[in-house]
Amino acid sequence: MAKLKSVWLQELTWEDVAEYLKSDDIILFPVGSTEQHGPAGPLGVDSYAAIALAEDAAKETGVLVTPPLWFGDSPHHLDFPGTISLRTETLVEVAKDVICSLARHGFKKIIIINGHKGTNNAGLITACRSLHQYELPDVFLSLVDPMYLARGIAHIKDAVEHHAGELEISHVWYKHPHLIKQEKLTGEQVNLEPLMSEFTHKDLLGKGGDSIEIFWNSREQKAFAPTGSFSDSSHASPEKGRQYHEYMVKNLVKFIGWLRRYEGPIGRIKQ
Ligand SMILES: [Zn+2]
């Protein structure tokens, strides 16, 4: 197959995609959010993370990427201007419609790259489990999240990380240096324990310990994190962002290599 001029679906013609589907059936689907990331980070942090991971893994492996979904499940950030949230139910339906469209054309192996750690997963997991069981049993669906994919590199950070913290800020700083307001990075850390019990998930990108989920809304969040940042970002750096990014891209490239050969436990997922 002739090399396509872009990995991004929106930059290709339908004939390019039809040609790709003659020899490949893998596609990446980046999902982010448009939500506040404290005074130092742009509203697109999670989307930029998903886009960067998808784009660099696609360039190394030659697979395609769907246009990014810039909106995610962010209701708890809605008290900050600029945040745009989908309800979990809406995200489920959007993800299902994107996946069904792709499957209709012959994409049989779909990897969702979620840049909005954890919170998008309720909707994305619901969509994937339901589709794979009932409507698309022969389509391979998987979900990538830095919270799980980057466990082996999380030791490079100095601070506990929850929201707008060291590594996610570093990631965007590495890829889009002009988007981080360095003078607004903070050494402040919201102590969640008095609010969420000793069983709160203390570090989304590190050792969390035993945990119990407690839900909070946007009003409560604005009260306990008035700047929007939960986490110490003062040790963020483009170099940490590079290491974090390259570690995850390497894992993704490995996974895509494995997936090319994968036919599923009953041999129905194949090119
Ligand atoms: Zn984020």
Q: How far is ligand 1, taken at its centre, from the CA of residue 238, in Å?
A: 16
CATH number of 9-261: 3.40.50.10310
Residues 6 or more apart whose Cβ sits within 8 Å of residue 176: 42, 48
Question: Distance between CA atoms of 74 and 88, rounded to whole angstroms?
Answer: 9
| The two structure tokens encoding residue 114 | 């979620």
For residue 31, the CA-to-ligand 1 centroid distance in Å is 12
Distance 243 CA to ligand 1 centre (A): 18
Ligand 1 centroid–CA 270 distance in Å is: 35
pLDDT band for position 1 (cuts 50, 70, 90): low
d(CA 43, ligand 1 centre) in Å: 9
Report yes or no on whether pTM surpasses 0.85. Answer: yes
Residues 157-204: tens digit of each pLDDT: 999 898 999 999 999 999 999 999 999 999 999 999 999 999 988 888
Residue linked to tokens 């395609």: 64
Cα 226 to averaged position of ligand 1 atoms, centre (Å): 16
Q: What's the 164 CA to ligand 1 centre distance in angstroms? A: 6
| pLDDT recorded at residue 154 | 94
How far does residue 98's CA lie from ligand 1's centre (Å)? 23
List, for residues 206-238, the tens digit of each pLDDT value. Answer: 777 899 999 999 999 999 999 999 999 999 999
How many Cβ atoms are within 10 Å of 226's Cβ, its own excluded?
11
| 72 strand-pairing partners | 85
